[in-house]
Structure 1
Amino acid sequence: MVTKGLIVTTVLTTLIVSGCSERTDKSTSSVETVKEVPEPVKLTLYQRGANISDEEFRALIAEPVQKKYPYITVELVRSTQDASPVSLLSGGSLPDLLFANPGTLREIKELKAVEDLTELVRSTRFDLSRFESYTIDAIRTNGGDPNKLYGIPFSVNFSVLYYNKDIFDKFGEAYPVDGMTWDEVTSLARKVTRSENGQPYYGLHPADVDRMAGQLSIGAYDPNTRKATLTSEGWLRVFAANKAVWDIQGNQPGNNITAFMKDRNLAMMPQLGARLGELEDLHKQGVPLNWDMVSYPTFPEAPQTGSETDVHTLSITSTSKHKEAAFKVIEVVSEDATQLEKTRRGRQSGLKDPKYKESFGSGLQTLQGKHVAAIFQIIPAKPRFSDKYSDIAKNQIATAMNKVIKGEADINSALREAEELANKQIEAAINK
């Protein structure tokens, strides 16, 4: 009996243990399955300042991310009057990711709503050395702290001098060439500014005067004195260069983009790379413009130096509850395949590898046969110091330039008045 009891007990014990082991294995397997299939994550991306079309968002962000991480979806939220950073933040609905230009990045940082990516870069071993150093430096400068990184480059907004070949052909004048200074381009503009059969032709719409100042690293504000610096020799220099273009008899074009793209009576237009999309649209519509481009005009004292580095960035908001998933989006967008597709579509990559320059614009019909090399002959100027007080000073520049153009004030008087007004507003903001 003892033997039989022992046998029964042993069998039962074996069955119980086996059952427990089976349940444990199933439980463990179930847990492992959950780990292998993460919970779905829905991220929102807020577009403000920097432009991105619906098609670009789909092809360069949403689809590549979902292909690599099926559980992550990204939706686009565009900035509107009702969807400003302040209103979204106060309502607790600021998106997870930010697609922005330098001004917007500073704006969100002022609200203390953008995340420092330094730790995420370190923990994921994200390789910043792949990027051109000036792009990372620009983001750190715009963030106001060289030890913090508030974004990763999405693309670099380049500048070139676009020109209408038909106008130069019509008047028998030579096309502009690479390496021209502002004075040389202004002289060329005089040759093609005229009126024929009641049709005005304008030689050149100058660049924004502050953009020209950026080429020479001329700031509007001194953070040490907390004063505007609009009466410096540098500002006199760029105001005079800008005024020289407007002083050409008959050269008073209105909206430069309309004059160049639609009216087609503007010979030269110094502008950003974003214009390529509009030129491509004209091509697709069957009304292509006979255009080409050369390197952006420079100043003799700063040869090969273009406009300030204008990096469009992807950032993560400090309010996001999905920071790790959001950084995965940044990683995917920074991968080779996505970067190559981006450059193929006419967006300049911030990555060093020459292959990105070689593939630039290959997907755009309007760029076939164009002087694409002009884009890469100019080095962007280093970004100037910028904060909310420098923005106050810079806000006076356009008004001062308009007074000069209209003959309401000479350059010295206009800049002196602008500086005085800026200092009053800066003082009020400091004491607020």
Structure 2
Amino acid sequence: MKKTKMKLHPAVIAILLTALIATACSQAASNSGGASSNAESGTAANGAARNADSESGEKKEPIELLLFKWGGITLTQTEVEHYFNGPVQKKFPHITVKLIDVPEGSDIEPLLTQGIVPDIIFGGSYQAIDEAGLAEPLAPYKEKFGYDDGRLKRTVADATELRSGSNQLPFSINLPVIYYNKDIFDRFGVAYPEDVKTWDEILGIAKQLTRTDGGVNYIGIDLAPARLGSGLSLDVIDPKTNRAAITSPEWVKVYETLKQLYEIPGFIGPDNHYRWTEKDDIFYTDQNLAMYSHNLAQLVGPLEELRKQGVTLNWDFAPHPNFKEALGSSIEINVHSMTLSKAGKHKDEAYQVMNYMLSEEVQRIVTRNGRVSVLDIPELEQEYGADIEVLKGKTLGNIFKAEPRTPHTPNILEGKITKYLTEAAGEIALHGLDVNSALRKAKERIDKDLETLEKTKS
């Protein structure tokens, strides 16, 4: 895949130069005896802080690796302790991992200018990370410390190659499912969606459940255009022309499906409210959404936290549906990945930690705590969620009935223009615009923005 070389951001260049100077000074001090460092190392505090490597027995200075969570991805402090610090401190006792949560929609640059520099970036678009000058090529580290992508599920390896040229390491797969509220189904005497396979069937169920009852507006399901398009691996930007690709017959099918949803009596709520899943927590806060097409990582953790607080919800999993021509698949594979930071001060150690996350030992912990392993070890799926109480009694097999799809061609500008997909849906839902007109209008807006962005970059 042809990659555009991006210039390092000035802030990153300054940080890298500072890191190189600091490293050189440290090495010079070490070579000359490092008197003050040796004196300090004799103190009780530093003596207690030193650890022995679990394999070699060699004493090493303590290292703290900063793990940036970026791009609206879910990773809690509890998960960092489970997945990273617990296993890592057994294998590399001198290393600890500290989570830095970069809020969704925020840029990394302000942190860099404050001198807060990542060693590992969890999540985020590889193209955006590379453009910021923060993506360290992994080939030298794979050669030095080893790496075996033959352990990975083929779809994971393919997606990693497509998205980053294999310059990221995968961590887990964020599979899509249908969460459904059993109490709403029971309230209206509708059968659970246990064997549903197509969006047409889902819409049929949604019609039965979308109604006002007891002063509550119940919604059968809400769907987003990008998610439906992902079920067919549709490009938003044509990789050949670098213009909008959203007027294809497949995109028309996506919006015709949305049109059917919007035409269900009662779906459009008071004040023309039609986007019911703008926030992740609607399923367990408002509890008026009967079915929710979402990913495991976004809801399983919060539902477990609620359970610990004594808040329960009567729910289960249904298999993720798709269009008739794509049965057996769900949506494009969503791999939560790790990027080695070019600005990091401990690249060797950070890579070793990243690689260790792909060991069977760690991936088993990941699996048992509610994330799906990237390893091609079928029996791990049998252990999915075993250590999470909220998943006890759930139909976990439904999670794995639909295979994730190969991603569409990535484009770094896509995130800047997908708002027009939502606007097109709004034109249909609220203004009665026909599908073809809405898509042509959106295409014109996207193409205009793409032209402007191209001129700005040149």
Q: TM-score, normalised by structure 2?
A: 0.81
User: Is the CA contact 1:240–1:411 (under 8 Å) kept in the aligned structure 2?
Assistant: yes
Q: What is the letter of the counterpart of residue 87 of structure 1?
A: P
Residue 89 of structure 1 deviates from its aligned partner by: 4.3
In structure 2, the partner of 1:42 is: 64
Residue identity matched to 2:259: K
**The one of 367, 375, 397 aligned to 2:399:** 375
1:353, 1:426 → 2: CA distance? Answer: 43
Contact 2:121 2:340 in 1 (8 A): yes
Counterpart code for 2:123:
A
Residue 429 of structure 1 and its aligned partner are, at CA, apart by 1.4
State the Cα distance separating 1:80 from its structure 2 match.
4.1
Alpha-carbon shift at residue 76 of structure 1 (Å): 1.4
Map Cα deviations across residues 132-154 of structure 1 (whole Å, 9 max, x no partner).
121122122122xxxx3221111
Structure 2: gaps of 5 or more residues = 1-52, 269-273
The alignment partner of 2:220 has SS state of: strand
Taking the aligned partners of 1:365 and 1:40, their CA distance within structure 2 comes to 35
Alignment correspondent of 2:136: 115
What secondary structure, in the 3-state scheme, does the structure 2 residue paired with 1:74 have?
strand
Q: 2:443 and 2:427 mapped to 1: Cα distance?
A: 14
Of residues 195, 212, 217 in structure 2, which corresponds to 1:178? 195
Q: Gaps (5+ residues) in structure 1?
A: 1-32
Q: What is the SS of the residue equivalent to 2:290?
A: strand
Identify the residue that residue 3 of structure 1 maps to in structure 2.
Answer: none
SS in 1 for 2:97: strand
The answer as to 2:146 corresponding to 1:135 is no
Deviations 1:399-419 (A, max 9, x none): 111121112532222211111
Distance 1:65 1:196, change over 3 A: same
SS at 2:431 equivalent: coil
Residues 324 and 259 of structure 1, relative CA distance in 2, 3 Å threshold: closer
Aligned AA (2:89) = Q
Matched, 1:403 2:403: no
Aligned to 1:151: 168
Q: Deviations over 1:148-179 (max 9, x none)?
A: 32211111111101111112112222111234
Shift of 1:108: 0.6
Following the alignment from structure 1 to structure 2, what is the Cα–Cα distance between the partners of residues 176 and 321?
51
- What is the CA RMSD across the aligned residues, in angstroms? 2.2
State whether residues 392 and 422 of structure 1, in contact with CA within 8 Å, keep that contact through their aligned partners in structure 2.
Answer: no
The equivalent of 2:255 in structure 1 is: 239
Mark the CA change 1:82 to 1:219 in structure 2 (over 3 Å): closer, same or farther: closer
Larger Rg belongs to = 1
Give the counterpart of 2:291 among 247, 268, 293: 268
Give distance in 1, aligned partners of 2:328 and 2:220: 23
Written as runs of structure 1 = structure 2, the 5 A alignment for 1:179-218 is 179-206=196-223, 208-218=224-234
Is 1:352 the counterpart of 2:387? The answer is no
How far does the alpha carbon of each residue in 1:355-387 deviate from its partner, in whole angstroms, 9 at most, with x for none? 220110111112111110111111111111122
Deviation readout 1:38-69 (Å, 9 max, x if unpaired) = 33322211111221111111121123212211
Are the equivalent residues in 2 in contact too, given 1:393–1:423 (CA < 8 A)? no
Pairs within 5 Å for 1:381-396: 381-396=405-420
Letter in 1 for 2:199: W
Q: Distance in 2 between matches of 1:336 and 1:210?
A: 34
Q: Using the TM superposition, give the Cα deviation of residue 389 of structure 1 relative to its aligned residue in structure 2, in angstroms.
A: 3.1
The amino acid that maps onto 1:226 is N
Matched-pair contact (CA < 8 Å) for 1:48–1:99: yes
Secondary structure of 2:219's partner? strand
Q: How many residues align?
A: 393
Question: Structure 1: how far apart are the matches of 2:146 and 2:225?
Answer: 41
**Do the aligned partners of residues 151 and 377 (structure 1) sit closer, same or farther apart at CA in structure 2, a change above 3 Å counting?**
same
- Alpha-carbon distance in structure 2 between the residues aligned to 1:402 and 1:385: 26
Partners of 1:82 and 1:402 in 2: CA distance: 22
**Residue in 1 that maps onto 2:22:** none
Q: In the alignment, is the contact (CA less than 8 A) between 1:204 and 1:267 conserved in 2?
A: yes
Conservation of the 8 A alpha-carbon contact between 1:228 and 1:390 = no
> Distance between the aligned counterparts of 2:103 and 2:314, measured in 1?
35
Preserved CA contact (<8 Å) 2:196 2:202? no
**How do residues 151-170 of structure 1 correspond to structure 2 at under 5 angstroms?**
151-170=168-187
Instruction: Give the secondary-structure state (helix, strand or coil) at the position aligned to 1:296.
Output: coil
Distance (Å, rounded) in 2 between the aligned partners of 1:190 and 1:405: 16
What's the counterpart of residue 100 of structure 1? 123
**Aligned-partner Cα distance in 2 for 1:282–1:226:** 45
Task: Provide closer, same or farther for how the CA distance between residues 48 and 265 of structure 1 changes in structure 2, counting only shifts above 3 A.
Answer: same
- Check the 8 A contact 2:182/2:316 in 1, yes or no: yes
1:321–1:83 CA distance, 2 compared to 1 (3 A):
farther
CA 1:420–1:161 in structure 2 vs 1: closer, same or farther (change >3 Å)?
same
Is contact 1:179–1:304 with CA below 8 Å preserved after alignment? no
35-44 vs 280-289, which deviates more?
A: 35-44
Residue 412 to residue 76, structure 1, CA distance change in 2 (3 Å): same
Q: Residues 80 and 282 from structure 1, CA distance in 2 versus in 1: closer, same or farther, beyond 3 angstroms?
A: closer
Shift of 1:194: 2.0
Residue of structure 2 in register with 1:14 after alignment: none
Equivalence for 1:7: none
Give the corresponding residue for 1:337. Answer: 361
Cα gap change, 1:281 to 1:75, in 2 (>3 Å): closer
Instruction: Determine if the alignment matches structure 1 residue 249 to structure 2 residue 273.
Output: no
2:95 aligned partner: 72
Q: Which amino acid aligns with 1:77?
A: I
Shift of 1:246: 2.0
Q: CA deviation at 1:347?
A: 0.7
